[in-house]
Amino acid sequence: MHNRLTTRERILEVSLKLFNEQGYAATSLAGIAKEVGIAKGNLTYHFATKKDLAFELEQRARAQALERRSGGAREFSFVDAYVETIWFGLSDWWNYRFLYRDHAQYQDQAISPQQNQPMNADIEKIHASLLKMKRSSMIRQGFVPDLQIVARALFMVTRFWLDHLRETEGHVEFSAEDQRRGVEHHFAVLLPNLTAAARRQFEAALDRLSVGVEVGASKRITDQRKS
């Protein structure tokens, strides 16, 4: 049983790597099996089709995001929660980027390429947050643009920050510094639309999160050295 679970995890890990790097359409079950080092029949014992692999990885990404949102004992302010969502959303988009890029390819053919469910869901979450900012008087007076348009702009500048890192800066890994820079690009669109007091809250939240991530990373390194 243990070996079966281990093989399953290896299949998922390799599938995610190849889907991200090669694209869903260009990745075959035979290629995944070869990379894992098993026979194709062994792979299909765990996952009958390539779609099954994609759906399993999609469910895993959602479960990890849900666990992160519901975990932890301390209470988050709305601003802290928003900044954390963008921060960790960037790493999710990097780690599971094929879900956003190739979603239409593994969905039923009846679904059009325009109906990218992960992207639409994230845009709606941003839009809901903007509406909450407006109700909380965080949006500056005289603000005119449609909040739905602002939500799409915020999504695009954040989501395609990852493409910039890969294609322009040549990154093959994603660091905490890349996350902070990504949030700063998000802020470049968001903060000019907020009151001065709200801008200070968001900037302070990012500073708190950055410090917390650095402390956590240092603790992990110390624990690894002790073990």
- pLDDT tens-digit map of 148-193: 999 999 999 998 999 999 899 999 899 999 999 999 999 999 999 9
- Parent domain of 36: 1-73
According to the model, what pLDDT value does residue 154 have? Answer: 96
Q: Assess whether 90 and 178 both reside in one domain.
A: yes
According to the model, what pLDDT value does residue 75 have? Answer: 60
Q: Assess whether 79 and 54 both reside in one domain.
A: no
According to the model, what pLDDT value does residue 5 have? Answer: 60
Q: Assess whether 163 and 95 both reside in one domain.
A: yes
Q: Assess whether 100 and 32 both reside in one domain.
A: no
- Residue-wise pLDDT for 92-146, tens only, equals 889 998 988 888 788 764 444 455 566 788 899 999 999 999 999 999 988 877 9
Count of domains observed in the chain: 2
Dihedral angle, C-alpha 157, 162, 167, 172, nearest 10 °: 170
**Among 48, 73, 98, residue at a domain's last position:** 73
**Mean pLDDT, to the nearest integer, of 75-94?**
89
**Among 55, 73, 91, residue at a domain's last position:** 73
- Residue-wise pLDDT for 196-212, tens only, equals 999 999 999 999 998 87
Q: Assess whether 61 and 82 both reside in one domain.
A: no
**Among 47, 73, 99, residue at a domain's last position:** 73
Q: Assess whether 116 and 208 both reside in one domain.
A: yes
Q: Assess whether 129 and 192 both reside in one domain.
A: yes
Q: Assess whether 58 and 88 both reside in one domain.
A: no
Answer whether residue 6 shows pLDDT above 90: no
99 or 224: whose pLDDT is higher? 99
Q: Assess whether 36 and 122 both reside in one domain.
A: no
According to the model, what pLDDT value does residue 83 have? Answer: 94
Q: Assess whether 138 and 35 both reside in one domain.
A: no
Q: Assess whether 114 and 208 both reside in one domain.
A: yes
Q: Assess whether 32 and 9 both reside in one domain.
A: yes
